[in-house]
Amino acid sequence: MGQMDGRVAIVTGSGRGIGKEIALRLVRDGASVVINDIDDAPAEETVAEIKKMGGKAVMCNGDVAKPDFGDRIVKTAVDAFGGCHVVVNNAGYTWDSVIQKMTDEQWYAILDVHLTAPFRILRAFQLHFKDAVEKERAEGKRIVRKVVNISSTSGVNGNAGQSNYSAGKAGIVGLTKTLAKEFGRYDVTVNAVAFGYIQTRLTKPLAQGESGEIEVQGRTVKIGVQGGRLAALNQMIPLGRGGLPEEAAGSVYLFCSPDSDYVSGQCLVVNGGL
């Protein structure tokens, strides 16, 4: 028996990276999962991997920042698995500039994906679980549901060149603490995990003068970190390295599991002791 048997989880941005590892961790403990990615191919690969493991997963792909996405992904969970118990708001990317060079498009794009999208998803989640909890209580059942919002040390401490990302990641902590107070009466815990340097494609080391890129809704966005900066960061981190995606997933799993049923409104900083 897994700790997550019978639970249904939504994990945004779960076609690859940290989100994929979160989804796999939940499936290994018995959860059924809704996989999401902005691109179809990574999501299809993750679903295939889960099914090969003997787990259950469906896809709800597309841009989490679209106005109808929150309703759509919650409906996908309910239609496929009969309910929803866990929401992990993980999807996101960076689009950096110092403030004098940052455009309105950059500002709003990053706030939309990191703050507005979770707001809409959790609004749709509340409309679902309110009725579900009333029915469960009438039957004498008590089920603790979970929300985990992914923040960043940029949101906790700030980071030069990331005014948009830092603002969004600070905002998600505020949303977390507010919804912990609103959702508590329904036995829903709401927590955040703020990651430092985790080794993903967004933090891939670059040679001097090179630039990595991703495509997001027709935009080409530069990503990656200069190798010299990463080397200095590794020296500063007491554990001596950036975290692995599967290690990042473990901290999120803590807030998804029954072990944290009396933990809510918290922001756990995961940075190797920095």
* Identity at 136, one-letter amino acid code: E
> Hey, where are the domains in the chain?
8-196+244-270
Average pLDDT (123-129) is 97
| pTM greater than the 0.95 cutoff | no
Mind telling me the catalytic residues?
165
Question: Residue 208: its pLDDT value, please?
Answer: 46
CATH superfamily of 8-196+244-270: NAD(P)-binding Rossmann-like Domain (3.40.50.720)
Task: Write the pLDDT tens digit of every residue in 38-80.
Answer: 999 999 999 999 999 999 999 999 999 999 999 999 999 999 9
- How many H-runs (helices) and E-runs (strands) does the chain carry? 9, 11
Three-state secondary structure call for residue 71: helix
For residue 207, name the pLDDT band (cuts at 50, 70, 90). low
Question: Residue 209: its pLDDT value, please?
Answer: 46
Average pLDDT (200-216) is 65
Residue identified by tokens 């929300």 is 147
Task: Write the pLDDT tens digit of every residue in 221-273.
Answer: 776 676 677 788 889 999 999 999 999 999 999 999 999 999 999 999 999 99
Distances (CA, A) of 11 to 21, 74, 227, 249, 263: 10, 11, 30, 11, 20
Task: Write the pLDDT tens digit of every residue in 9-37.
Answer: 999 999 999 999 999 999 999 999 999 99
